[in-house]
Structure 1
Amino acid sequence: MRVYISADMEGITGLVDAEDVQPSGRDYELGRLMMTEDVNAAISGALSGGATDVLVNDAHGPMRNLFPGELHPRARLIKGRPKPMSMLEGLEADFGIVLCVGFHARAGAPGVMSHSFMGHEIEDMWLDGRPVGEIGLLHAAAAAIGVPVGLLTGDDAACAEMTEWDSGVTTVAVKTARDRFAAELRPPAESRAAIQAAAHSAVAGLLASPREPDLAQKPKALAVRWQSAAVATHLLGIPGVTRTDSRTVEVTARMPDLYRLLGIFLRVATTLTNQAPYC
C-alpha cells in the first residue's frame, strides 16, 4: 500500500506558540526537530503496518520545515512552495490512505494555535454551509481523489474536529489545549509511541478491510469570510466567485478543484495583506 502523509506543525508534540512554528521564532529549530520526529513515528508505524511506499508532504507555512537528513530513510519528501494542491500536493488515487500529522483546529475553535490557512485574516469558512477549516477541507478533497484519511494527530480540539467529520478516522491527541497558546503536553516518548501504534493500526486495518472510495462527488459551495473587505473585492475578479456581504465570498465547484481554487484565494489575499498569522 502507498501511504501519503500530510504534515502540519501547530499540532506537533510539545509546540504551543508562534515562536515554535515560525522561521523567525526563537524555538523554531526545536519545533522542526519535534515535527520531524512525529512524522518519523508515523512513517515507522505505516511501514510496520504494511506500507510499501511512503510520501511525505511538508504542509506547514513555508513548507520547508522538516529536516530531510533526519527523515526516515524509506520515505520521500515534497518540500517547498508554491504547490497547486498545497497540503495535498502529490496525492493521487493510487495511494491507499492519508495520514495527517500535526494538525490544528479551525479558526475560532478553542484549540492550540487554531486558525484556517491565514492566521486571523480568514475569520470563518463554510463548506456547504457547515463550518470548516483545514481538517474538513483536506478530508473532503482526499475523498474526492478517492483516498480515505485514516489518521490525524494534533491537540484534543483538532482530534475532536476530525471525529466530527469522520468518526472512522483514528486520532491521537499529543496535547490538551488550555488556551490558544497553552497546552498540557503529553511526554514526547509517549506521544510518538502512540502515533506509531496508531499509524500501524490505520494502515493494517485498511489493508484488511479496504474502504470503497466515494467518487460520485457533487459540487460543493465554499464560503470564506475575510478580515479585509479588500480581499473579497479582488476575489470577485475570479470567474464564478460571488460576494454574499462586504467581506464574504462564495464559489461552487467540485472537489478537489475547489481545494486548488482556495489556493488561488490565498495567494491573492497574501498580496493584499501583511498580517502576522497569530496576532
Structure 2
Amino acid sequence: MRIYLSADMEGITGLVDAGDVQPDGRDYERGRRMMAEDVNAAVRGALAAGATHITVNDAHGPMRNLLPEALHPAARLIRGKPKTMGMLDGLTSAYDAMICVGYHSRAGSLGVLSHSFMGHEIEDMWLDGRPVGEIGLAHATAAALGVPVVALTGDDRACEEMTEWDPSVTTVAVKYAHDRFAAELRPADEARGAIEEAVATGLAARPRAASRNPEPAALTVRWQSASVAAMLQGIPGVTGKDSRTVEAQGALPGLYRQFGVWMRVAASLTNQRPYC
C-alpha cells in the first residue's frame, strides 16, 4: 500500500502563532520539532495499517521545515522549492491514499492561523462556486487523480472544514481554536496517539480508488491587490470577474498547477516594501 502524506505546519500540535511556524520566529525550531513528531505519528499509523511505501511532502512555507534526520526512517521526504505542484508535489494516481497532517482552515475562518495559501493576499477562493481553501483544493485534486484522502489533522475548524467536503475522512483535532492566534491545546502525547490511531483507522476503512474526473472545474480567486488580478489576466484562459477577482477553468490536477503559477506572479508583485 502506497501512502502520500502532505504536511503543513499551522495545524501542528501546540503551534498557535506566526513565531511558531516562520523561519525567523522565536519558536520556529521548536515548531519544526513538533511538526516532525506529528508526521511521525501519522507514519506509525500508516505502517500499522500495512503501508509499504510512504512519501512525505513538506508543504509549508519554504518547504524545508522537516529535518530529514528527525523523520521516521520508513518515510521518504520531498523537501525544498520550487515545486510544480507545491503542497501536493509528487502525488500521482499510483498512491492508494493521501493523509493531510497539520492543515488549517481557509481564509475568513476563525481557525488557528487560518488563511488560504498566501496569508492576507488571497481574500477568498471558490471551486465551482463553493468556498474553498487549502483543504478543499487538496481534496479535489487528489480525487481527480483517484486518490482518496483518508485522514486529516489540525485544529477543530480545519477538521470541520474537511468534514464539510467529505464526511468519510477521519479527522483529528489536536487543538481547539479560541481565536486566530489562540487555542486550547491537547497534551502532545495524547494528540500524537490520536493521530496514529486515526491514520490506522482511516486507512483500514479507506474507500476504493475514486473514479478519475476529467470534467473541467472553475477556480475563482479574489486577491487583496487589483495589480495581481490585472497581471494574471495576461495568462491565456484567465478572465477577470471584477477588479480584484479572476477565474480560470480546467481539469484538475492541471488547474492546481496553474494556480501555483498565479501565486508566483502574486509574490513577485507583492513582495515589495509599502510605499508609505
**Per the shorter chain, which TM-score range?**
over 0.9
| Counterpart position of 1:71 | 71
Q: CA deviation at 1:217?
A: 3.5
| Counterpart position of 1:136 | 136
Cα pair 1:223 1:249 within 8 Å, conserved? yes
Say which SS state the counterpart of residue 176 (structure 1) adopts. Answer: strand
| Counterpart position of 1:103 | 103
Q: CA deviation at 1:274?
A: 2.2
Q: Distance in 2 between matches of 1:126 and 1:172?
A: 25
Say which SS state the counterpart of residue 240 (structure 2) adopts. Answer: strand
Structure 1 unaligned runs (5+)?
Answer: none
Q: Distance in 2 between matches of 1:216 and 1:30?
A: 41
Structure 1 segment 1-279 matched on structure 2, within 5 A: 1-206=1-206, 210-274=207-271
Task: Show CA shifts across 1:77-110 (max 9, x none).
Answer: 0000010111111111111100000000000011
Distance 1:104 1:275, change over 3 A: farther
Structure 1 stretches of at least 4 aligned residues deviating more than 3 Å after TM superposition: none
Cα pair 1:97 1:147 within 8 Å, conserved? yes
Cα pair 1:125 1:222 within 8 Å, conserved? yes
Cα pair 1:121 1:226 within 8 Å, conserved? yes
Say which SS state the counterpart of residue 219 (structure 2) adopts. Answer: strand
Q: Distance in 2 between matches of 1:98 and 1:116?
A: 20
Output the amino acid matched with 1:247. R
Output the amino acid matched with 2:205. G
Q: CA deviation at 1:275?
A: 7.5
Larger deviation, residues 260-269 vs 88-97: 88-97
- Give the TM-score, by structure 1 length: 0.96
Q: Distance in 2 between matches of 1:7 and 1:79?
A: 11
Say which SS state the counterpart of residue 24 (structure 1) adopts. Answer: coil
Distance 1:256 1:245, change over 3 A: same
Cα pair 1:43 1:72 within 8 Å, conserved? yes
- Give the TM-score, by structure 2 length: 0.97
Q: CA deviation at 1:67?
A: 1.4
Cα pair 1:121 1:275 within 8 Å, conserved? no
Say which SS state the counterpart of residue 225 (structure 1) adopts. Answer: strand
Output the amino acid matched with 1:62. P
Cα pair 1:57 1:78 within 8 Å, conserved? yes
Q: CA deviation at 1:203?
A: 1.7
Say which SS state the counterpart of residue 205 (structure 2) adopts. Answer: helix
Q: Distance in 1 between matches of 2:165 and 2:246?
A: 23
Equivalenced residue count is 273
Q: CA deviation at 1:211?
A: 1.6
Q: CA deviation at 1:218?
A: 1.3
